[in-house]
Chain A
Amino acid sequence: MLDNPLLQSLFGGILIGLAAMLLLVGNGRIAGISGIIGGIIDKPASLTDKDWRLAFIAGMILAGIAYALFTGAAPAGQILAPLPLIVAGGLLVGFGTRLGAGCTSGHGVCGIARFSARSITATCTFMLVAGLTVFVMRHVLTGTGV
């Protein structure tokens, strides 16, 4: 394991990029997580096109379990937001990524890589709005527990 956190993040990013390429050249699909989950939710009854989505999601959950087994460390940090914000945030992330046709992976990692104007616009928008949200929560409304 790299001991410099910045290099470790760069290495993690390279793995994410390799994973996206594997899904593209292997299955012809964009590794956009909101789109992969959304496809399952859109058509819960039909099995075609759902198997690879479920396999990808299962792989992601397995990654967290494998990391915990091999390192003894928790795969995810604590979610510190209070419950009403967790629910509101989840609803907004779910609805918003589907309406905006992508999230950090689909627009940010895959879309920018192909110089898509839509993805570059979307990424700038959600980064800016997320930054403003954090600013308001942390520096304007203090004491909310976020």
Chain B
Amino acid sequence: MNIGIALLAGLLFGIGLVISGMTDPAVVLNFLDVAGAWDPRLAMVMGGALLVTTPGFYLARKSGKTLTGAALQIPTRSDIDAPLLVGSAMFGVGWGLVGLCPGPAVVALSGGATAALGFFASMAAGMAIFSIYRKMRPVG
């Protein structure tokens, strides 16, 4: 694993989130609020990203390897199961309550605000609880 590439990718990803407005919960909540003053910016961000990743994934999977010849680690599952739906719904509730998804929650740490630290700590706690839950119930 190349740590330099991961650092650079994280930097680029974070810059993209900041300049696109996604680190501002108000922008995200106004996108989700179709009954209010709708802000289309989140759709522009997703569209811009997919403009790159759609042909990008096609080409990368065609070669099947990284630039150094290692295998790509791409998910292979295609079944729609209950954990996928329940988990996504839980995520949706949390996202709608605060206006932060995991990426912006990480970038928000850079500002050092108590609310940002509190959200990230709660999110990490939620992941830790899931980790314990999965160890107790290995199936599903």
Task: Enumerate chain A interface residues (CB-CB to B < 8 A).
Answer: 1, 5-31, 33-34, 37-38, 41-42, 49, 51-53, 55-68, 74-81, 83, 85-101, 103-105, 107-114, 116-118, 121-123, 125-135, 137-139, 146
Given A10-B44, A31-B9, A60-B14, also A21-B53 (CB < 8 A): yes
Instruction: Please provide the chain B residues from 93 to 122 with a CB less than 8 Å away from any CB of chain A in the complex.
Output: 93-111, 113, 115-116, 118-122
Question: Are the CB atoms of A57 and B10 closer together than 8 Å?
Answer: yes
What are 7 A-B pairs at a CB distance below 8 A? A12-B17, A14-B16, A28-B73, A41-B124, A76-B116, A94-B130, A125-B89
A23 to B48: give the CA distance in the assembly, Å: 17
Question: Are the CB atoms of B47 and A13 closer together than 8 Å?
Answer: yes
* B139 at interface, CB cutoff 8 A: no
- Most chain A CB within a 10 A radius of its CB, from B7, B51, B53, B133: B53
Question: Are the CB atoms of B2 and A20 closer together than 8 Å?
Answer: no
Given A91-B126, A100-B88, A134-B96, also A62-B14 (CB < 8 A): yes
* B80 at interface, CB cutoff 8 A: yes
Interface majority SS (helix, strand, loop, mixed), chain B: helix
Question: Are the CB atoms of A57 and B106 closer together than 8 Å?
Answer: yes
Question: Are the CB atoms of B9 and A17 closer together than 8 Å?
Answer: no
Closest-CB distance, A64 to chain B (whole angstroms)? 3
Chain B: interface residue count, which band?
Answer: 35 or more
A8 to B16: give the CA distance in the assembly, Å: 9
A68 to B19: give the CA distance in the assembly, Å: 11
Question: Are the CB atoms of B11 and A37 closer together than 8 Å?
Answer: no
Question: Are the CB atoms of A93 and B45 closer together than 8 Å?
Answer: no
A104 to B107: give the CA distance in the assembly, Å: 14
